[in-house]
Amino acid sequence: MNITADTAAAVYDAITKSIAVHNSVDLVGISCIARGADSVFARAVLDVGGRLEVVLPSRNYRDRKVKPDHIELFDALISRAEIVRVLDFADAGRDAYEAANEAMLSSCDRLIAVWDGETGQQGGTGSVVELARERGLPVEVIWPDGAARA
């Protein structure tokens, strides 16, 4: 979530290059559109002509977790999403995030992870990468040279 502006630009370029090889008619990106890499991914998918599916971890996700500096982009991405799935959790939290990861992995045929390789907490990028690999799902890790967290 917390990547620098320069990192976001480099990640956008890397994701766009990675997904541009696919027919945009068939391209569907699935994201929770959190601030940072999730939203960068969603923008890249839409910008290359793909469709966006959003998975929100809880019913109160927007109100409780989306910060004021991200609300405009969050709302813009929601408005452009073809499908918005809201998971049946009242509150956002680790269980809801794990369920959102599960919903995404169960619906995709490839995972693009913006990840510095650091293992983290339950529901984070490291755990979803590990779960995808355990399932034999192809994983592409993007962490451009010079990338940094904010």
CA angle 102, 103, 104 (to 5 degrees): 90
Residue 107 is predicted with a pLDDT of: 94
Residue 79 is predicted with a pLDDT of: 98
Please enumerate in sequence order all residues whose Cβ is within 8 A of that of 139, keeping only pairs 6 or more positions apart, or say none: 110, 111, 113, 129, 132, 133
pLDDT along the chain (150 residues), means of 10: 92 96 92 96 97 98 95 98 98 92 94 89 81 96 93
The one-character DSSP state at 117 is S
Place of tokens 């809201």: 86
CATH of 5-109, one of 1.20.1070.10, 2.60.40.2380, 3.40.50.450, 3.40.190.10: 3.40.50.450
Residues 72-84 as b or e (16 or more Cβ within 10 Å = b) = ebbeebbeebeee
Residue 124 is predicted with a pLDDT of: 79
